[in-house]
Amino acid sequence: MKVLLINTFDRSGGAAVACNRLLQALHKEGVDAKLLAQEQTHPDPLVVPAGEAGKASKNAFGRFLLDRLEVYFQEKDKSVRFAFSPAHIGADISRHPAVLEADILHLHWVQFGFLSIDSLKKLIQLGKPIVWTLHDMWAFTGGCHYSGDCKNYLSHCHTCPYLKRPGPKDLSWKIFEQKIELFGRGQIHFVTCSQWLAGQAKESALLKNFPVTAIPNPINIEKFSSKNKIAARRHTRLPEGKELILFGAMNTKDSRKGFTYLKDALQLLKNTFPKTADDVELVIFGKTDPEMLAGLPFPVNNRGQVQSEAELVYLYNACDITVLPSLQDNLPNVVMESMACCTPVVAFDTSGLPEMVQHNRNGYLAQPRSADDLAQGIYQTLYQSSTQLLQAHARQKVIDCYSESKVAGQYRQVYKSFL
């Protein structure tokens, strides 16, 4: 059984990280699996580029620009620029040797100019079994990756809130029509990383008649594990006598990640609990800018983009809690990584987060969009909860649900159901 995972990037972004971890997990379990990405950025014998080195990079960048250009002229404003993908530009990989020799094609996140809707049609026409792991909502919407409060995908997308001129037959309506035709061409087994996303997919007009299985992302629990906190702080050059709060995301400016709520919560924390004024510092990693960090009430340690998993492990271990106030999220790697390192998480009680964070057991779930409750959760987790119990339960949750062997075994069952 040869399985080909297909993802836009080999390492960059949350979906790529999750896809690569699944690749490694499957390989350890004896599955003949490879990853096809539009270009290879890191040496790995299990990764196959879609085209020749150099040429593939130029072609990928060109497709990305054209894909974004269509959105640029129709977007509501620049804040939604990367939240909507039309997928009208893409590469034809249907004759790629890795595709032709595979028994099962396993799609992951394929937007930003890699696979268009026409590209997907050509893969379906090959007649091979297709598994598609959804890392967001794009497959069953008219173009958005997360719908927010919009529920049009339950019937038919139109009047899209991401567009400058929403209407009955706007771009989202056209894309939805194209997907109706796409999904009428073959059988696909959809997998979602969270039960929450599985529920959304099963209710959607596009996927309600397809099989949908919820299987979480895996993580290497030997690599992401507990270390001595003092040693971790010395390694990361973080202060030893402070309570450290961690916030991280690929792009911390993404409004969906809720940084504005964290900012308000930190101000409330300082105002409500004066003892925190000289006791707390914030640690941030991910793409950000100085403007975003201006006016924070506590000192900030900005680590920028952290590429090394080993450095991430030290960062999680150095901090006392991780806060991720996402407004809508699937199964965030940050939460899983933090818990694997025995660092409790404070998050909003929404979308896939309650499946990971168990309130007052391995972290704290705050009322969605409530900076007050978020501040209370941060204070309680730092000062009023049993640290050792929270840490132990956080780690155990990851071992029980997200270990490589457990997740790879679930995927093997899906593959076998096809063959």
Question: Tens digits of per-residue pLDDT, 94-149?
Answer: 999 999 999 999 999 999 999 999 999 999 999 999 999 999 999 999 999 999 99
Q: Which helix (H) or strand (E) holds 286?
A: strand 280-287
Given a cut of 90, whether residue 78 has pLDDT beyond it is no
Report pLDDT for 79: 80
Q: Say if residue 401's pLDDT is above 80.
A: yes
Mean pLDDT to the nearest integer, 254-271: 92
pLDDT at res. 59: 78
pLDDT band at 82 (very low <50, low <70, confident <90, very high): confident
* Alpha-carbon dihedral 418, 85, 137, 11, rounded to 10 degrees: 70
Domains in the chain: ranges and CATH: 2-218+403-418 (3.40.50.2000), 229-402 (3.40.50.2000)
- H helices of 209-288, in order, are 229-236, 259-272
Over range 27-53, report the average pLDDT.
89
Is residue 184 scored above 90 in pLDDT?
no
For the residues 393-412, what does the mean pLDDT come to?
97
What would the mean pLDDT of 61-80 be, rounded to a whole number?
A: 84
* Residues in a beta bridge with 176: none
pLDDT at 54 over 60: no
What is the structure's pLDDT at 158?
97
Of 7-16, 319-328, 337-346, where does mean pLDDT reach its minimum? Answer: 7-16
| Cβ burial 57-71 (10 Å sphere, 16+ → b, else e) | bebbeebbeebbebb
Largest CA distance in the chain: 64
DSSP 154: G
